[in-house]
């Protein structure tokens, strides 16, 4: 794990690394971290928009797992990536 990171995705190996559960500020932060890392496996990079799940510093907005929700922008990012014919979301 990179220092200071809550999670890491390794698309080339289809792996996600996360801290032990007790190191997160609640299940919401852990769940949001997991969803973001799963998102990285699908291709999107970090977003600058505060409430996007793909925002690199947003972990902890939701304190309950039932509150975590992809934003419209998160959905659009995935839709755009997979609508391209010449785009490779992962480094070769």
Report yes or no on 88 lying in a domain. Answer: no
From 10, 26, 23, select the one nearest 90 (Cα to Cα).
10
Report yes or no on 65 lying in a domain. Answer: yes
User: Chain centroid to CA 64: how far?
Assistant: 17
Over residues 64-85, mean pLDDT: 87
Structural domain range at position 14: 7-83
Report yes or no on 90 lying in a domain. Answer: no
Write down the mean pLDDT value for the chain: 84
How many structural domains does the chain have? Answer: 1
Report yes or no on 32 lying in a domain. Answer: yes
77 pLDDT higher than 50: yes
Answer for the pair 36, 70: CB distance below 8 angstroms, yes or no.
no
User: Considering only 10-19, 33-42, 55-64, which range has the smallest mean pLDDT?
Assistant: 55-64
Over residues 18-43, mean pLDDT: 89
Query: How big is the chain by its Cα radius of gyration, in Å?
Result: 13
Report yes or no on 2 lying in a domain. Answer: no
Report yes or no on 92 lying in a domain. Answer: no
Q: How far apart are CA 43 and CA 79, in angstroms?
A: 11
Answer for the pair 37, 8: CB distance below 8 angstroms, yes or no.
yes
Report yes or no on 56 lying in a domain. Answer: yes
pLDDT at residue 18, rounded to an integer: 94
Report yes or no on 89 lying in a domain. Answer: no
């Amino acid at each position: 794990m990179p220092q200071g990171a809550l999670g890491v995705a390794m698309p080339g190996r289809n792996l996600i690394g996360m801290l032990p559960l007790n190191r997160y500020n609640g299940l919401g932060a852990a769940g949001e971290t997991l969803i973001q890392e799963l998102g990285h496996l699908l291709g999107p990079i970090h977003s600058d928009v505060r409430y996007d799940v793909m925002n690199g510093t947003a972990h902890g907005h939701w304190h309950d797992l039932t509150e975590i929700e992809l934003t419209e922008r998160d959905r659009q990012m995935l839709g755009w990536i997979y609508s391209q014919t010449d785009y490779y979301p992962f480094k070769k």
